[in-house]
Amino acid sequence: MSTFTFLWRLIMYRPYRYSFNALAWTLIYLAPIVPGLITKQFFDSLTNESAAAYGTWGIIAMLMGAAVARVMLIIVGFITDVQFRFRMGMLLRRNVLEHVLKQPGARAIPCSPGEAISHFRDDVDQSEEAVSWSVDSFGMTCFAAVSCFILIRIDAQMTLFVFLPLVLVVTTAQLATTRLQKYRAASREATSKVTGAISEMFGNVQAIQVAGAEHRVAQRFRRLGDDRRKTMLKDRLMTEVLDSVFSNSVNLGTGLILLLAAQKMRAGTFTVGDFAVFVYYLTFVTQFITNFGKFLTFFKQMTVALKRLTALLQGASANVLTAFNPLYLSKGERNAKREKTEGKSQDPGGDRLNRIEISGLSYLYPDTGRGIVDIDLTLERGSFTVLTGTIGSGKTTFVRALLGLLPAAEGTVRWNGRVVEDLGSFFIPPRSAYTAQMPRLYSDTLRNNILLGLAEHDDNLPRAIHAAVMEYDVEHLQLGLDTMIGPRGVKLSGGQAQRTAAARMLVRDAELYVFDDLSSALDVETEQKLWDRLFAARGEATCLVVSHRKAALAHADHIVVMKDGRVEAEGTAQQLIQSNDSFRKLWFGEGS
C-alpha cells in the first residue's frame, strides 16, 4: 500500500466527517479575505483614493465582526478536527490490535511489548497528523487561490514574489525526503528499544536480582538512552533546519515585496490600500507556505509510520490497517452492538454442551516439524478426561489446536454435531474456559487478576477461591484480595500463581473447562484438595485436563495416552495399567 492510498483510505473511513472538517477549516482560512478587502477600502478612503461607504467606525465594526466570526469558525473547526482525528486513531489501533489478537494463540508480535506500544502510540499519532494537516493544506490552498486572484488583479509582479517562497519550500522538502525518513525511522527505532528495555526490566525483576545483573542492565539501559538521544537530536535538528528554511524563504519574499512596493508607490501605480492588503494577506500567505511545508514533512513521516504499523501485521495485507470497522464510541452504539450480539447466535449447536467430536486434528510446528497428527477424541457432557504422556508427546499442542490457539492444519471439531468454523472465536466463555501451562498474571490486585473485568456478583468469587484452594492464601496476604501481586505475579509462589489462574477460570461459568498441567507446582495435599473440590463443584461441566499426576488421573472418567503427537491408547486407569507400557511408567513414576 502506498502512502497516498493509506492517507486516502483513512479519509474515506468517515468521508462526511472529513468533508465537514475540511469545510470548516476552509472557511477559517478563507475568512481573512473579507477583512483584507475591508482594510484596503479603509486605507484608500484615508488617501481619497475611494469613497468610504461606511465610515471609520463602520469599518472597525465590520473588522470586529469578521474577527468574531473567525473565532467561532475556529471553535467549530477544532471540534470537527478532534472528532475525526479521534475516530481515525481509534480505527488504526482497533484494527491492529484485533489482527494481533486474532492470530492463532495471539501469535507473538515481531518486537518487544515496549516497541509495540511505541507503534500504537507514535505511529498512529503520526498518521493522524498527516491526515489532519491535509485538511489545513486544502483550506490554505483555497485561500492561496482566492488571494492570488485578488493580488494578481492588483499587481501580478508583486504577487509572483509572494508565492515564490512556496517553490523553495516544495523543492527543499522533496530534496530532504530521504534523509528525513532515515532520521525519523532511526529515532522511532531507538525509542522502541528504550520502551522495550523498560518492559523487560519490569517483567524480569527477580531474574535480574538473582543473577546480580543490576549494574549490567543499568549500563545497557543507559547505552540505549544515549543512542535514543543522538537519533532524536538528528531527527529534531533536521526538522528545525527545514522549518528554518521555510521561515527564511518567506522572510526573503517579504523583503522583496516591501522593496518593490516602495518603488511602485513612488511611481503612483500602487495605492496605500493596495499596500495594506498585500501586507495583510502576507501574514496568511506566510502561514500557508510554512504549513504546506509541514504537511509535506508529515506526509513523508507517514511513510515511516505505515511501514512500522505494517510490520505488526506479520505478513498480512496493509489493508487490515484501514478496514472499515465500527468503533461503538457512543453509549447508544455500544447498546446497539450488545443487543445485536445477544440476538445473534454464534454457536453452531447451542451453548449447552452435549458432545464434542474431534476428528483428524493435526498441527505441525513450522520450525521443527513436530506436533500432533490425526487426533480423534470425543468428550461427553459432564465427563472428566485427562490427556497424559511424556514431555513432548503433544498434549499441550493438542489442547491449543483444539481451542484455536494454534492454526490446525487439518481436522474437524463438532459441537453437538455441528462443525465449528472458527475455533479461536468460538471456544471462549461461556462455552469454555482455559488455564494455560504458564499462568499470565498482571501487576494488579489479586481480585482484579481473578476477575479480569468480570462483574463480582452473588458468591462467584468466594466459590472460585474455595474451588482453587486459595482461601488460606487470601487470609494471610496483607490486604487479602486487594493485595498487589506485582509484575507477572512475582509476589506469589508458583503454586499460588497456578491456583490464581485456576480461580480466574473457575469464576467464569463454562460448559468446558480446559486445564493444562494445572497442578505441576502444587504439593500432593493441595493438589488432592484441588481436584476433589473441582470434581465436586463442576456440576455437569465437561473437563479436559492435561496432567501426568496421579491425583488427576485417579479422578478421570477417561484417559488418553499420547506419544509422539499421536493417541497411543485410551481407557480408564485400571485398563491402561494392564494394557499400556507408557501409562504404567507414568503411573508408577518411572517416566517424567
CATH code, domain with 495: 3.40.50.300
For residue 53, give the DSSP letter.
S
Of 278, 303, 318, the domain-final residue? 318
Does the structure show a pLDDT above 80 at 226?
A: yes
Asked whether residue 454 is domain-assigned, the answer is: yes
Segments in 405-492 forming alpha helices (H): 423-426, 446-451, 460-467, 471-476
Asked whether residue 415 is domain-assigned, the answer is: no
386 and 261 within one domain: no
Cβ neighbours of residue 558 closer than 8 Å, sequence gap 6 or more: 383, 384, 385, 386, 570, 571, 572
CB 184 within 8 A of CB 304: yes
Number of structural domains in the chain = 2
Q: Which domain holds residue 220?
A: 14-318
- How far apart CA 379 and CA 159 sit, in angstroms, is 82
pLDDT digits (tens, 9 = 90+) for 341-379: 544 444 455 578 899 999 999 998 877 778 899 999 999
Among 185, 174, 88, smallest CA distance to 130 is for 88
Give strand pairing partners of 520: none
Instruction: Identify the weakest region by mean pLDDT among 89-98, 285-294, 544-553.
Output: 285-294
pLDDT digits (tens, 9 = 90+) for 23-55: 988 888 888 888 888 777 777 776 655 545 556
559 and 472 within one domain: yes
Asked whether residue 478 is domain-assigned, the answer is: yes
Instruction: Output the 3-class SS for 114-178.
Output: HHHHHHHHHHHHHHHHHHHHHHHHHHHHHHHHHHHHHHHHHCHHHHHHHHHHHHHHHHHHHHCHH
Q: Is 388 helix (H, G, I), strand (E, B) or coil?
A: strand
Higher pLDDT, 496 or 101: 496
Instruction: Identify the weakest region by mean pLDDT among 97-101, 256-260, 506-510.
Output: 256-260
CATH code, domain with 58: 1.20.1560.10
387 and 247 within one domain: no
**What is the per-residue pLDDT for 343?**
47
Neighbours of 438 (CB within 10 A): 10
Asked whether residue 6 is domain-assigned, the answer is: no
CB 375 within 8 A of CB 411: yes
**Mean pLDDT confidence for 520-544:** 78
Among 247, 279, 24, 243, smallest CA distance to 139 is for 24
- How far apart CA 281 and CA 274 sit, in angstroms, is 11
235 and 138 within one domain: yes
Extract the C-alpha cell encoding 162.
Answer: 509572494
Does the structure show a pLDDT above 50 at 478?
A: yes
Confidence tier at 575 by pLDDT (50, 70, 90): very high
Higher pLDDT, 31 or 118: 31
- How far apart CA 553 and CA 386 sit, in angstroms, is 7
pLDDT above 90 coverage of the chain, percent: 13
- How far apart CA 496 and CA 14 sit, in angstroms, is 49
388 and 314 within one domain: no
Instruction: Output the 3-class SS for 208-261.
Output: HHHHCCHHHHHHHHHHHHHHHHHHHHHHHHHHHHHHHHHHHHHHHHHHHHHHHH
pLDDT digits (tens, 9 = 90+) for 405-422: 888 778 999 999 999 988
pTM: 0.63
Where do we find the cell 481451542?
403
Among 568, 430, 556, 448, smallest CA distance to 500 is for 448
386 and 314 within one domain: no
531 and 455 within one domain: yes
Asked whether residue 371 is domain-assigned, the answer is: no
Of 289, 318, 347, the domain-final residue? 318
Using DSSP, how many helices (H) and how many strands (E) does the chain show? 22, 10
**What is the per-residue pLDDT for 373?**
92
Does the structure show a pLDDT above 50 at 97?
A: yes
**Most confidently predicted of 51-60, 100-109, 372-381:** 372-381
Of 318, 335, 361, the domain-final residue? 318
Neighbours of 222 (CB within 10 A): 10
Asked whether residue 349 is domain-assigned, the answer is: no
- How far apart CA 93 and CA 329 sit, in angstroms, is 14
Asked whether residue 334 is domain-assigned, the answer is: no
**What is the per-residue pLDDT for 345?**
44
Burial of 349 (0-12, 13-18, 19+ CB in 10 A): middle
**What is the per-residue pLDDT for 174?**
60
Asked whether residue 350 is domain-assigned, the answer is: no
148 and 60 within one domain: yes
Cβ neighbours of residue 309 closer than 8 Å, sequence gap 6 or more: 92, 96, 119, 123, 124, 127, 318, 321
- How far apart CA 313 and CA 96 sit, in angstroms, is 7
**Mean pLDDT confidence for 180-205:** 78
300 and 405 within one domain: no
308 and 391 within one domain: no
397 and 273 within one domain: no
533 and 398 within one domain: yes
